[in-house]
Amino acid sequence: MTRVLATGVFDILHAGHLHYLNEAGKLGDELVVVVATDSTVRRRKHEPVTPETMRLEIVNALKPVDRAYLGHEGDIFDIVREIEPDVIALGYDQKFSENELEKDLKDRGIVAKVVRLSKYEDDLNGTRKIIQKIVDWYTFKKKIDEAEGER
């Protein structure tokens, strides 16, 4: 049995997330997903829109996911040791070097192959761009409403 580990934020779930998880699942027999904590998201990306408990529940309910866990604070390798994956699937945009990650795993006595997955071309280009589209729409709508109010 080949266990695959995938990680991510999964804030404002979109087609790119589903592509990533489907592709990761094809690398083995069991897909285990680690969802980043709110504090990790704040530190590395942005203020999360959806709280960690909700993101975890949503990811756990997705068809390709066998199990999902909330990440740990501190050493990122602690949860990797607990899950004991055979393969770690990286999204195309995750800021890890495959070679450095494999070396770090080996240095810690963790044997796992690291695979970088391809970009999903029909993606909306991530959560931040989706948020920006929403902000732009509301800004545009507000200007229209203000212009109509001036008539």
Check pLDDT > 60 for residue 28.
Answer: yes
The per-residue pLDDT for 115 is 95
- How would you label 41-75 residue by residue, b for 16+ Cβ within 10 Å and e otherwise? beeeeeebebebeebbebbeebebbeebbbbeeee
- Best mean pLDDT range from 25-39, 105-119, 130-144: 25-39
What is the C-alpha to C-alpha distance for residues 75 and 60, in angstroms, rounded to an integer?
Answer: 23
* Tokens matching residue 81: 């040791």
Residue 126, pLDDT > 70, answer no
Considering the entire predicted model, what is its pTM?
0.83
pLDDT of residue 16: 86
pLDDT at residue 82 greater than cutoff 70: yes
Each as own residue / partner, the long-range contacts of residues 71-74 (CB below 8 Å, 24 or more positions apart, any chain) are 71/7, 71/34, 71/35, 71/36, 71/37, 71/40, 72/37, 73/37, 73/39, 73/40
The CATH code of domain 3-123 reads: 3.40.50.620
Mean pLDDT of 102-124: 86
pLDDT at 43 over 60: yes
For position 124, what pLDDT does the model report? Answer: 52
What ranges do the domains of the chain cover? 3-123
Confidence at residue 139, expressed as pLDDT on a 0 to 100 scale: 81
